[in-house]
């Protein structure tokens, strides 16, 4: 390397090294990052597969929130794929709609564990929208649904298959069951949405407004402007259909 090239290389690299050292050792910078993370709003969806109301909600209102990149920049979105299931004395999960629901809940638990949110959300939405078009009684059709979603979304199905067949998925589902049982107050139906642990009950259609109200950070978000709050809102007909389709806890 020529002396001129060496000089140019050092000219570029030394400032970068200096910046890395300064940022990593600057407590003020670290505090800004911590404060930005701390100000995020926690949104949790407790849901279950084979519940029409859950599928409709993921497709509509939750989808609207997720597709709003500005709002998602202040949100920690957490899925809880357990719903109205319960854990019996043998540590076996019993689902409201039987083994097919447990199967898909476990598959989606695996997706949440194996993939980042942008992949797992797309996958769960694909599966749940597909459920709306399938028969609950057709085991083979339901069990092939998630594979079709992997193909459609160009996702590798092997991590999900391994997660399910190894028993890891069942352990994940049991963990979600413990989390669901620990919710205070207990959920009355699904989809059950909480914002910073406060349940929205039937006001789930206004989840974006609740996110804006709960946000205590310094960002000025256009999405939280009152005039823009209902641009992507669910229609009243869709709201009525969803409220009729929720799945109540036994």
Show the tokens assigned to 201: 């009950």
Delineate the domains of the chain, giving CATH numbers in brackets: 41-248 (3.40.30.10)
Q: Say whether pLDDT at 121 is over 80.
A: yes
Question: Confidence band (pLDDT; 50, 70, 90) for 87?
Answer: very high
Cα 34 to its chain centre, rounded Å, is 22
Question: Confidence band (pLDDT; 50, 70, 90) for 140?
Answer: confident
Q: What is the mean pLDDT of residues 160-172?
A: 98
Find the angle CA(164)-CA(161)-CA(113) to the nearest 5 degrees.
65
Q: What is the mean pLDDT of residues 31-60?
A: 84
Question: Confidence band (pLDDT; 50, 70, 90) for 78?
Answer: very high
Q: Does residue 153 contact residue 212 with C-beta atoms inside 8 Å?
A: no
Helix (H) or strand (E) holding 183: none
User: Half-sphere exposure of residue 162, counting CA atoms within 13 Å on the CB side?
Assistant: 6
Picking from 245, 185, 233, 227, the residue whose alpha carbon sits closest to that of residue 62 is 233
Q: What is the pTM of this model?
A: 0.83
pLDDT digits (tens, 9 = 90+) for 55-68: 999 999 999 999 99
Euclidean distance between CA atoms 170 and 173, whole angstroms: 5
Show the tokens assigned to 83: 């719903």
pLDDT digits (tens, 9 = 90+) for 205-229: 999 999 999 999 999 999 998 755 5
Picking from 52, 120, 139, the residue whose alpha carbon sits closest to that of residue 80 is 120
Residue 83, Ramachandran bin (φ over 0: left; ψ between -120 and 50: alpha; else beta): left
């Amino acid at each position: 390397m020529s002396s001129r090239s060496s000089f140019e290389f050092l000219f570029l690299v030394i400032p970068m090294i200096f910046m890395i050292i300064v940022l990593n050792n600057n407590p003020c910078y670290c505090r800004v990052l911590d404060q930005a993370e701390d100000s995020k709003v926690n949104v949790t969806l407790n849901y279950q597969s084979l519940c029409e109301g859950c599928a409709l909600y993921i497709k509509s209102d939750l989808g609207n929130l997720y597709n709003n990149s500005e709002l998602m920049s202040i949100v920690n979105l957490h899925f809880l794929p357990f719903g109205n299931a319960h854990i019996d004395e043998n540590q076996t999960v019993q689902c409201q709609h039987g083994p097919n629901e447990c199967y898909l809940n476990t598959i989606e638990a695996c997706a949440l564990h194996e993939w980042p949110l942008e992949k797992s959300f797309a996958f769960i939405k694909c599966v749940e929208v597909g459920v709306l078009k399938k028969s609950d009684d057709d085991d083979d059709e339901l069990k092939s649904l998630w594979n079709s979603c992997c193909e459609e979304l160009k996702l590798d199905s092997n991590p999900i298959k391994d997660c399910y067949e190894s028993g890891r998925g069942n352990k994940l589902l049991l963990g979600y069951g413990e989390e669901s049982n620990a919710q205070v107050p207990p959920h009355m139906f699904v989809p059950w949405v909480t914002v910073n642990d406060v349940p929205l009950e039937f006001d789930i259609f206004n989840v974006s407004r609740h996110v804006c109200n709960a946000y205590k950070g310094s960002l000025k978000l256009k999405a939280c402007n009152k005039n823009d709050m209902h641009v992507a809102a669910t229609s009243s007909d869709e709201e009525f259909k969803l409220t009729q389709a929720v799945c109540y806890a036994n």
